[in-house]
Amino acid sequence: MARVWFEGLPDYSTLGGTIEGMLGLEADGVVRATDLLLHLHGLETSQVTVGSGKSRRVIVEHASFLELVSSFHDSLHFQDANHVGPGTYRFPFRFDIPATAEPSLATEELPRSRGRLSQRPDGMYVEYELEARLTVPWWVDPLDREVVPVYSPRRVLGAVPAFSTEAGPDRPTVQVRIDPVMILPGTTVTGSFAIQNPHLKELPQLTVTLFRHVEYHASRTSALREAPQFPAAIQLGARAPSYQGTFGIAVPNISETTGPFTGELYRTYWVARAELEVSLGFNVRMDAIFTPA
């Protein structure tokens, strides 16, 4: 029996950076095998579900944009051409990520385990997957797989013009400004707001949200997602004629992408949304669509 595993993988990498770690192999006896291979797959996956009941169909498309492979054949202890001797082996490895590749993207939270009972949800995904495989002739290969997120080293939100709701005879108006910022893992996006409330309506809360709008297709069936969302909730509460202040939106270290892209499976852009909650009235909401600088 034999098993393979990974050690020391990074939490994430960046385009133009590297993925480094250790590949382990343990054989408790002589094992029939011809090679130990390590692949790095860069894969776009789009999934759309159409219909329901007996007419329900799940349409999935895959597009590979990166395939890197390393062989550890010369580092293994072979007793003959098809048998590896017993022992525990550890091999350092390194893959260079092209600066022109695509950053990771996940429009929905993926299940930790994937299989018949935990299928991938509908959405658009860009993943970098490490696959270690001990190749065994005419038998099941021992293998291990791990996904490492890869981010753009510069995720820059361009200068977003101030956006505001249209004035109305019986409703408050809102203006929002977002400061230009380079989005790196853990960045906080800042901005300011101004609200005019001439009719002294009760305004419990203003929420400013950043999110990505993602359009994709599978087999000519189009779909879209708005995910993930990064909100900032500003509590207001009093019946004041005007409000103004600042806000911060924490952008966590998660899979995201901003385009443009070389493939035709999807396109995506940023949206800034402001929604003002109005008691005993209609909420005021506005969107500003923009692309990164």
- What is the C-alpha separation between 90 and 80, in angstroms, rounded? 20
pLDDT digits (tens, 9 = 90+) for 230-279: 899 999 988 899 999 999 988 776 555 555 454 455 667 778 899 999 98
Instruction: Enumerate the β-bridge partners of residue 31.
Output: 84
Task: Report the sign of the C-alpha dihedral through residues 102, 104, 108, 110, in that order.
Answer: positive
Determine which of 66-80, 192-206, 211-225 has the lowest per-residue pLDDT on average: 211-225
pLDDT at residue 17 in the model: 92
Q: Which CATH number fits domain 2-151: 2.60.40.640, 3.40.50.720, 3.30.1490.20, 2.40.110.10?
A: 2.60.40.640
CA distance 177 to 194: 9
Tell me the two tokens of residue 193: 């707001």
Q: How far is CA 182 from the centre of its chain?
A: 18
pLDDT at 248: 93
At 59, is the pLDDT very low, low, confident or very high (cuts 50, 70, 90)? Answer: confident
pLDDT value at residue 116: 52
Q: What's the CATH fold of domain 155-290? A: Immunoglobulin-like (2.60.40)
Q: Is the pLDDT of residue 289 over 60?
A: yes
Query: Is the confidence at residue 40, as pLDDT, over 50?
Result: yes
Q: How many helices (H) and strands (E) does the chain have?
A: 0, 23
- Mean pLDDT, the chain, whole residue set: 82
Name the phi and psi angles at 137, rounded to 5.
-60, 130
Of 17-26, 130-139, 161-170, the least confident: 161-170
- CA-based diameter of the chain, in Å? 87
Q: Is residue 9 a contact partner of residue 112, using CB atoms and an 8 Å limit? A: no
Per-residue pLDDT, averaged over 213-225, amounts to 76
**Which strands form 78-80's sheet, in the order they lie side by side?**
31-32, 83-84, 78-80
In the chain, ranges of CATH 2.60.40.640 domains: 2-151, 155-290
Amino acid at 27: A
Q: What is the model's pLDDT at position 260?
A: 46
Q: What are the pLDDT digits (tens) for 82-120?
A: 778 788 889 999 999 998 888 888 877 776 655 555 578
Is pLDDT at 185 greater than 60 in this prediction? no
Q: Is 275 helix (H, G, I), strand (E, B) or coil?
A: strand
pLDDT tops 70 at residue 51: yes
Q: Residue 123's pLDDT band (boundaries 50, 70, 90)?
A: confident
